[in-house]
């Protein structure tokens, strides 16, 4: 315990600094740069031809450089490099403290500590600073450092280890492998040792040496750095993996200033530009060091820095081959079946949040996936994506509470690498508003991704080799869709005046996504597209009309169709054929769930339907009780929309039954009985339940033992609930409770806090008593030692929602905008109103705050 206390940095008042502190004097970058043996004297930059005075980009200690080996020519290096480095680092003080605590505390058994992250993020730097820490040097009897790399040699690994801890010199190179193993084991046998295995790429590399490290219960430790999460887990599945995070903007700016000015301060006239430069590096230490070295060796004028700020990525990746090689190592290590999937990420613009379902459908349409029986192509695609995430090439943006991937993204510099390699290999061509390219060049491309306006007509290319066309920028495109080999057409950012009938001639199409405003039906001739897998059709809706899209029954006869998505459309069920491949059907209006209809789509996994009703509606004709027959259904969204706001909520049929595989259920616009709630609770695999714009038949809800066994996410919004009775043993898997506009509910039962898995209570527009009870639950759990429960109160939406409701009811809104709140257009109207109110309210608040506090605007 005394040892651990000694590690806490002292504050001026004698107290210890918390682990969350970011004040640091540590500067370095990921030791991936150790492969560089000859530093370039000048950095040539694409698109920055007038920059002068660029000399050495990265300065390193000459003693270190003597020990550097070209990464792929020598597989292992000794610890001389680690032990001679004199640098510190910025932004990793918390990481440093956590690793040191794991080295000297906890169990006395041998432990493996894995540090994982993308190339250039600081893994080796962190390990080196821990390795050279004065207390760590004193604590361990023996320390050794080896760099494994992609192409390793066992004899070299053993020789490097022994060379760093013995004085045998040239004798080591005369020993055979077995002699080296025996010598190493004897050397470590009675000592407390620290071994750093840097840059491990294969589980086999760990297997070769792991048995040579004895466990004498004396607190010995092994640090392993890798870009691959599966390698870290393989080395030690029992301990937590230490994942490296990107630097914050404050940390990035601190590192950049350290590289440019050393211990001096940045001139005030350059501070704003320096912040812009640091921001574009997106928290990657390696990029900050490279651009810092550039700025350090050049003139420090405002005009020059502004020029650099406009070309940061070119300055970092332009012709600096060493930087590109560091990031390319991860790409080169990919198996071939993942390379095409990875390169395809270049179709998305910078900072694009990628919906996983969208990405997977594109991969399937492009035929990148190897079928694995009995898995579906979508399941194989998810495995591919998880593999790329484990390799730290793709970043997770959002996961559901069930752990399912929802959105992802890629770092800007990784994206630049992808686009460069994709264009070199003629795999993909990206077009934006900064580049003028002739139609002749486009004609020979396989895939086109358009991120900006193009200033020419790419029509009349009947002999073009283009297979994929994705238009991901706002604006009009002058184009005739006449590419005969086209497989993928994503034109959702192009508004067609009518359905482009020429599409039905492109028989190779597998994926179509488009928007049009004209005639409200899709032609039956679309069934000619016998290879089509995904069809997404959106309408450009206006506030004064709700147009229904009519789809031909022939669509369900298309043999390869897997995903059919549209907004407010009517699809008649064919009487003579069905589709066993269809997995997704969303946007269907007044769908009649007859046994015959469901038998034609037996493998449906996602269903989104809505029902428009009035007082004359007879619900029995829709046969909702037959949904039970969709045995593969996992996600169901069902919305009831009144044709008049005066209509009461629709009572949900009490005999309603759902398929046992259902995982996600969303209901809105209906009245729910307690028998319905018991039906929901009895679903064995239900993980997500969202109830919106509904009423209970009674204002008191009593949960029962044994219900909702797997439920992880519960949302209850806009209802008449007044009292909720629950016990801590109910809802045993709940992780997030979300309450929205429960205006009659007085409080959240305190027993909710006893659910051991609960992580978040999210409140939207709830009464003060509900908010108070949520924070009381949080405080009670903190007193019991549970600091993991968070409460999020989104109170501003309550004010906005009340304002909207009052204006809506008093006819202050434009009558053309007054549409059902649960409908698509009603949501759009509310969204526009919310944005307007937030801008107005925030502007007024900032204006008033700035008058009283000059720093308020900056802080906000």
pLDDT tens-place string over residues 763-821:
999 999 999 999 999 999 999 888 889 999 986 444 444 444 444 444 344 333 333 33
Question: Residues of 773-793 as b/e, b for ≥16 C-beta within 10 angstroms?
Answer: bbeebbeebeeeeeeebebeb
Other CB atoms within 10 Å distance of the CB of residue 615 = 10
17 and 90, same domain (yes or no)? yes
Of 546-550, 714-718, 758-762, give the lowest mean pLDDT range. 546-550
Q: Mind listing the pLDDT tens digit for each residue in 30-77?
A: 333 333 223 333 333 333 322 222 223 222 222 332 232 222 222 333
Q: Is residue 315 part of a domain?
A: no
Q: Mind listing the pLDDT tens digit for each residue in 675-694?
A: 889 899 999 999 999 999 88
The model carries a pTM of: 0.75
Q: Mind listing the pLDDT tens digit for each residue in 585-601?
A: 999 988 888 888 898 89
Residue 158 has a pLDDT of 86
The Cα 341–Cα 359 span in angstroms is 10
Q: Is residue 218 part of a domain?
A: yes
Let me know if 672 is exposed, middle or buried by CB neighbors in 10 A (0-12, 13-18, 19+): buried
Residue 358 has a pLDDT of 95
Considering only the C-alpha atoms of the chain, give the largest distance between any 2 of them, rounded to a whole number of Å. Answer: 96
Q: Mind listing the pLDDT tens digit for each residue in 806-815?
A: 444 443 443 3
Q: Is residue 409 part of a domain?
A: yes
84 and 213, same domain (yes or no)? yes
| Token code pair at residue 159 | 């020789």
21 and 146, same domain (yes or no)? yes
Q: Is the pLDDT of residue 623 over 60?
A: yes
Q: Of 422, 437, 466, which one is at a domain's C-terminal end?
A: 422
Q: How confident is the model at residue 151 (pLDDT cuts 50, 70, 90)?
A: confident
Q: Mind listing the pLDDT tens digit for each residue in 548-582?
A: 888 898 898 899 999 999 988 888 876 677 788 99
Q: Mind listing the pLDDT tens digit for each residue in 827-852?
A: 444 555 555 555 544 444 444 433 33
Q: Mind listing the pLDDT tens digit for each residue in 392-415?
A: 899 999 888 778 899 999 998 889
Q: How confident is the model at residue 540 (pLDDT cuts 50, 70, 90)?
A: low
Q: Which of 128-142, 440-454, 455-469 has the highest mean pLDDT?
A: 128-142
469 and 350, same domain (yes or no)? no
| Token code pair at residue 91 | 């932004």
| Token code pair at residue 5 | 């206390």
Q: Is the pLDDT of residue 584 over 50?
A: yes
Q: Is the pLDDT of residue 116 over 90?
A: yes
224 and 143, same domain (yes or no)? yes
17 and 121, same domain (yes or no)? yes
Q: Is residue 566 part of a domain?
A: no
* Residue recorded with tokens 């315990």: 1
Helix (H, G, I), strand (E, B) or coil at 427: coil
Q: Is residue 279 part of a domain?
A: no
Provide the CATH number for the domain around residue 197. 3.40.50.300
Helix (H, G, I), strand (E, B) or coil at 798: helix
CB 277 within 8 Å of CB 305: yes
Spatial neighbors of 612 by CB under 8 A, at least 6 apart, are: 589, 590, 641, 642, 643
The mean of the pLDDT values for the chain is: 78
User: What value does the mean pLDDT take over residues 456-475?
Assistant: 70
Question: Residue 718, preceding bond cis, omega within 30 degrees?
Answer: no
Q: Which of 154-158, 279-283, 355-359 has the highest mean pLDDT?
A: 355-359
User: What value does the mean pLDDT take over residues 462-486?
Assistant: 74
Residue 431 has a pLDDT of 82
- State the sign of the Cα–Cα–Cα–Cα dihedral 756, 760, 764, 765: positive
| Token code pair at residue 435 | 């580049």
355 and 433, same domain (yes or no)? no
Q: How confident is the model at residue 490 (pLDDT cuts 50, 70, 90)?
A: very high
DSSP state of 127: H
Region of 73 (left: φ > 0; alpha: ψ -120 to 50; beta: rest) is alpha
Residue 394 has a pLDDT of 92
| Token code pair at residue 631 | 């045995």
The Cα 72–Cα 785 span in angstroms is 50
180 and 222, same domain (yes or no)? yes
Residue 36 φ then ψ, to 5°: -80, 120
832 and 770, same domain (yes or no)? no
Residue 380 has a pLDDT of 95
Residue 462 has a pLDDT of 56
Domain tally, the chain: 5
Spatial neighbors of 330 by CB under 8 A, at least 6 apart, are: 118, 119, 227, 391, 392, 393
Q: Is residue 190 part of a domain?
A: yes
Q: Of 486, 506, 536, which one is at a domain's C-terminal end?
A: 486
Q: Is residue 386 part of a domain?
A: yes
Helix and strand numbers (H, E) in the chain are 27, 30
| Token code pair at residue 412 | 């800007």
222 and 371, same domain (yes or no)? no
**CA angle in degrees (0–180, nearest 5) for 56-414-338:** 135
Q: Is the pLDDT of residue 246 over 50?
A: yes
Residue 149 φ then ψ, to 5°: 70, 180
Angle of helix 377-390 versus helix 336-343 axis, rounded to 10: 90
418 and 432, same domain (yes or no)? no
Q: Is the pLDDT of residue 609 over 70?
A: yes
Q: Is the pLDDT of residue 185 over 80?
A: yes
User: What value does the mean pLDDT take over residues 735-753?
Assistant: 93
358 and 453, same domain (yes or no)? no
The residue range of the domain holding 719 is 703-788
User: What value does the mean pLDDT take over residues 321-346?
Assistant: 87
Residue 724 has a pLDDT of 92
Q: Of 788, 817, 835, which one is at a domain's C-terminal end?
A: 788
User: What value does the mean pLDDT take over residues 699-707?
Assistant: 89
Q: C-alpha distances in angstroms, 91 versus 22, 252, 258, 413?
A: 6, 8, 12, 20
Residue 226 has a pLDDT of 93
């Amino acid at each position: 315990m005394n040892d651990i206390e000694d590690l806490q940095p002292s504050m001026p008042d004698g107290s210890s600094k918390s682990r969350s502190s970011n004040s640091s004097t540590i500067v370095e970058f990921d030791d991936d740069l150790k492969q560089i043996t000859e530093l370039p004297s000048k950095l040539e930059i694409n698109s920055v031809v007038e920059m002068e005075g660029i000399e050495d980009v990265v300065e390193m200690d000459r003693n270190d450089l003597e020990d550097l080996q070209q990464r792929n020519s020598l597989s292992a290096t000794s610890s001389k490099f680690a032990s001679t480095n004199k640098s510190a680092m910025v932004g990793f003080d918390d990481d440093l403290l956590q690793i040191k605590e794991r080295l000297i505390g906890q169990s006395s058994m041998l432990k493996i500590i894995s540090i994982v992250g993308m190339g250039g993020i600081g893994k080796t730097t962190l390990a080196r600073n821990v390795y050279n820490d004065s207390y760590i040097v004193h604590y361990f009897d023996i320390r050794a450092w080896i760099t494994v790399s992609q192409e390793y040699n066992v004899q070299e690994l053993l020789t490097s280890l022994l060379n760093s801890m013995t004085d045998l010199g040239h004798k080591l190179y005369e020993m055979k492998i077995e002699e080296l193993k025996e010598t190493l084991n004897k050397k470590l046998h009675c000592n407390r040792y620290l071994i750093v295995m840097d840059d491990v790429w294969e589980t086999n590399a760990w297997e070769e040496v792991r048995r040579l490290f004895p466990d004498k219960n004396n607190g010995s430790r092994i640090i392993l750095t890798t870009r691959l999460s599966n390698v870290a887990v393989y080395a030690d599945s029992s301990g937590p993996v230490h994942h490296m995070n990107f630097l914050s903007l404050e940390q990035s700016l601190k590192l950049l200033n350290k590289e440019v000015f050393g211990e001096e301060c940045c001139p005030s006239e350059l501070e704003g530009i320096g912040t812009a430069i640091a921001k574009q590096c997106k928290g990657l230490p390696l990029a900050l060091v490279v651009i810092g070295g550039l700025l350090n060796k050049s003139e420090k004028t405002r005009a020059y820095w502004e020029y650099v700020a406009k070309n940061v990525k070119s300055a970092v990746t332009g012709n600096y081959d060493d930087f590109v090689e560091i990031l390319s190592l991860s790409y080169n290590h990919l198996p071939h079946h993942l390379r095409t999937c990875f390169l395809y990420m270049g179709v998305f613009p910078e900072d694009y949040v990628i919906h996983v379902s969208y990405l997977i459908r594109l991969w399937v349409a492009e035929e990148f996936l190897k079928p694995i029986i009995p898995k579906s192509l979508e399941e194989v695609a998810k495995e591919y994506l998880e593999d790329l995430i484990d390799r730290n090439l793709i970043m997770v943006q959002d996961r559901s509470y069930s752990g399912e991937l929802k959105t992802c993204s890629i770092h800007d510099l990784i994206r630049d690498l992808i686009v460069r390699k994709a264009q070199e290999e003629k795999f993909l061509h990206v077009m934006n508003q900064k580049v003028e390219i002739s139609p002749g060049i486009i004609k020979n491309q396989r895939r086109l991704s358009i991120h900006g306006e193009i200033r020419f007509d790419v029509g009349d290319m009947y002999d073009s080799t283009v297979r994929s066309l994705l238009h991901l920028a706002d604006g009009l495109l002058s184009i005739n869709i006449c590419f005969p080999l086209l497989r993928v057409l994503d034109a959702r950012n192009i508004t067609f005046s009518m359905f482009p009938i020429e599409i039905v001639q492109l028989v190779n199409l597998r994926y179509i996504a488009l928007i049009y405003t004209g005639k409200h039906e899709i032609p039956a001739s679309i069934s000619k597209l016998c290879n089509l897998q995904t069809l997404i059709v959106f309408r450009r809706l206006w506030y004064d009309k709700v147009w229904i899209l009519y789809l031909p029954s022939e669509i369900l006869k298309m043999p390869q169709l897997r995903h059919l998505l549209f907004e407010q459309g009517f699809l008649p069920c064919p009487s003579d054929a069905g589709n066993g491949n269809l997995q997704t059907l969303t946007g269907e209006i007044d769908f009649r769930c007859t046994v015959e209809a469901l038998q034609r789509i037996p493998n449906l996994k996602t269903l989104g339907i809505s029902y428009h009703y009035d007082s004359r509606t007879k619900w029995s004709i829709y046969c909702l009780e037959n949904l039970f027959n969709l045995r593969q259904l996992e996600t169901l969204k069902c919305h009831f929309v009144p044709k008049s706001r005066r209509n009461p909520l629709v009572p949900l049929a009490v005999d309603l039954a759902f398929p046992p595989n259902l995982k996600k259920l969303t209901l809105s616009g209906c009245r729910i009985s307690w028998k319905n709630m018991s039906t929901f609770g009895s679903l064995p695999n239900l993980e997500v339940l969202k109830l919106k714009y509904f009423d209970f038949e009674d204002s008191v809800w009593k949960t029962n033992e044994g219900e909702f066994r797997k439920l992880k996410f519960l949302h209850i919004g806009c209802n008449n609930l007044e009292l909720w009775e629950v016990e801590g043993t109910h809802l045993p898997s709940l992780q997030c409770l979300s309450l929205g506009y429960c205006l009659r509910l007085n409080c959240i039962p305190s027993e909710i806090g006893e659910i051991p898995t609960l992580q978040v209570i999210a409140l939207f527009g709830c009464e003060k008593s509900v908010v108070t009870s949520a924070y009381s639950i949080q405080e009670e759990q903190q007193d019991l030692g549970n600091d993991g429960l968070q409460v999020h109160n989104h109170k501003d939406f309550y004010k906005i929602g009340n304002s909207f409701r009052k204006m809506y009811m008093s006819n202050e809104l434009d009558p053309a905008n007054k549409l059902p709140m649960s409908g698509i257009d009603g949501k759009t109207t509310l969204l526009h109103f919310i944005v307007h109110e937030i801008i107005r309210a925030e502007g007024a608040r900032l204006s008033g705050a700035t008058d009283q506090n000059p720093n308020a605007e900056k802080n906000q």
